[in-house]
Chains A and B, each alone.
Chain A
């Protein structure tokens, strides 16, 4: 029965494959809704990407050589953007797949050759880190190929190009993780993640600053765009895999072959993988052993929080619940590092408003700015929903196996749930108010809108945080491994659907009367009594819907907890 040869590395991927098959065979409640929601969103986004790329490529074809140049530069730029994303994604994913994943305790204790474990884990890392990039690139390249009537070989070469292109940055990211885990004691994983999170945020800002997308808005003719792309070129660009991938694909688009760059991609990917395999052989076990020591992590006592909480006019029970949740949140790196990334993305979003020089474009008058204010409000609502589903919805489930402590304590479950609400409301409110006020200030929107938007955001925050807390209590998943799993559950999806509907209704209810008011003012017309009445009805309806969503959400949650067995 004993095998003469050891198991090949793909064998180590079997549990993931079997688990996926089992999940598909044994559907849980909400799986169909989840599949339809995510599938629908994915399909819509894919079609939008395909359509946009097809249209752009089609338009560029009219400009002959200049169009070709822009397409070529555009491909290189697209791959350059993905290069940094993949490196960072590889760095973070490798920490989990190579060092922290729970199944490693089983695999490392088994008699598996180190090299086999390495290849299995590397495939997993590349898969986890790169799937999003591949899913995005597929409709882009398909659209370019169809718009340019590319030969079939283009699609084959595209697939063969994407593989080494994704492997190279992920291997580099993994190598950095290997080094960091060996240099820093793994008990300082929190510091490590914080550094990487900040690095990523900084690199995103630098990248955007480097690209200066505002130039695209300023240009009034193609030569300016040409200059824009030319400015992206630097002496190191030809040495980057993004350039090689762009060149390879551009050549194959016309039926040609760029063997040099294609070979550069594959040889670099293979040699880096071999180098990493050697590094793995030499340093992996010491890094893994360090990672096992991570349990005694450093932590801060957060005394400031205690002082802050002691000043709050709330009961001792609520204060202790608040303090516990706040401390757990701040000591859980996986929680706040994701919030950090969200803040980085928000800064980028606001940065776009700063650099959009709308006044230079004649038809971008004040009206367009005010329309942007509503777009900003909608975006804020979506950010709010995303933050709520990721951080507030799982708050009850995050009690996990420790929920018995709360249930057996002499406290009301409403106290417990309201503490979850307040602790969730504070960051959501601060984040979204900052986003709204700063965004509107940078855009220079009308004073009326600038003053009404923060009030709307206040109401929306109460409603969405209340809904998330309540639904989180109604559909808890105490056995979930992490908050993302809870957010992706049936209840999480149901919340997202309701939240998006809520945001759309509120934006419509606030947007219509605001636009009536602004149009009247632009035309210097006085407001008719009927218009005032309709405006009041809309604003009051928005407020009433928000309050009802908030209150019903929380009531439902408390009742669900009381019924819980």
Chain B
């Protein structure tokens, strides 16, 4: 559903993403892990069509993003780490506008908007201005928008930031339900428990390169200890010696 081939992004002499290739299959929740500055957000923003790759190819639902950007984007839902919302629109207006961008129109849209708002527990806020929403509510509204047009694939950058436990549980349920319907989800996260609990496969990126990929048991095997928690596996693979240094300093 999402296929990325040899993706490279350079900023002057600095290479942020260096030959990343990955594939997210229909119905798969694919975790995208890596330390800060490893290239996760840059990769996701290139797939979302917000950044121009220096080289490489991105295909979404069979459409090449470079040659058929509109068709590729029509199949995608995007949940950014710092979402933009029109503060002076109501939640309902924002979703109707967003639906229109994806070609949704007619009386059925209002019904879908209500369904999505109910699903994300925002129904009673439909006619309130977005500016009055808390961070978590805004996050859920963005998710409503991302799923509104029934995308074939969804990109999620840090989904759990700012969500309370109830909100986090809700999001996990929605993601599972959507993947059950065949939606591919590529999810970048720092919350390793979430990745361990939800992801079918995980790719770990370090300094712009994918250094490991597989299911959680496969990653454990790669780290040399099949009983390790994902946190320990992650630290071993991405260079956990820093922790030891911290212990020495503190």
Contacts and interface: CB of A to CB of B under 8 A. Distances in A.
Interface in A1-19: 1-3, 6-7, 11-12, 14-15, 18-19
A286 interface: yes
A332 interface: no
Interface string B110-145: 001000000000000000010100000000000000
Nearest to B129: A22
A22 B161 CA distance: 29
Nearest to A22: B88
A492 B102 CA distance: 40
Given A1-B112, A185-B12, A109 B90 contact: no
B93 to A, nearest CB: 5
A22 B89 contact: yes
Contacts of B73: 109-111
B45 A292 contact: yes
Interface in A57-107: 102-103, 105-107
B153 to A, nearest CB: 13
Contacts, number: 90
A198 B97 CA distance: 40
A168 to B, nearest CB: 30
A285 interface: yes
B104 A2 contact: yes
B215 to A, nearest CB: 30
A258 interface: no
A111 B84 contact: no
Contact of A2 (B80, B84, B93, B103): B103
B201 to A, nearest CB: 24
Contacts of A112: 70, 101
A259 interface: no
Interface stretch (B47-55, B174-182, B205-213): B47-55
B224 interface: no
Contacts of B51: 289, 292-293
A26 interface: yes
Nearest to A3: B103
A7 B52 contact: no
Interface in B45-67: 45, 48-52
B52 A15 contact: no
Given A15-B86, A15-B89, A289-B52, A111 B106 contact: no
A105 B97 contact: no
A25 to B, nearest CB: 10
Interface in B16-57: 45, 48-52
Contacts of A103: 84, 86
Contacts of A521: none
Nearest to A5: B103
Contact of A109 (B12, B48, B103, B108): B48
A191 B49 CA distance: 27
B50 A292 contact: yes
Contacts of A479: 131
Contacts of B106: 1, 3
A18 B11 CA distance: 38
B78 A109 contact: yes
A3 B70 CA distance: 14
Contacts of A109: 48-50, 73, 76, 78
A296 B16 CA distance: 13
A114 B69 CA distance: 9
A113 interface: yes
Contacts of B230: none
Contact of B71 (A3, A11, A111, A296): A111
B3 interface: no
Given A3-B105, A18-B93, A23-B88, A11 B100 contact: yes
A19 B45 contact: no
Given A3-B103, A105-B50, A14 B84 contact: no
Contacts of A18: 86, 88-89, 93, 97
6 contacts: A7-B100, A15-B89, A18-B93, A19-B89, A102-B84, A289-B52
Interface of B: 11-12, 45, 48-52, 69-74, 76, 78, 80, 84, 86, 88-90, 93, 97-98, 100-106, 108-109, 112, 129, 131
Given A7-B101, A111-B72, 12 more contacts: A2-B103, A3-B105, A7-B100, A7-B103, A18-B86, A18-B97, A22-B93, A105-B80, A105-B84, A111-B71, A185-B12, A296-B11
Top 4 nearest A-B pairs (CB, nearest first) are A19-B88, A289-B52, A111-B74, A111-B73
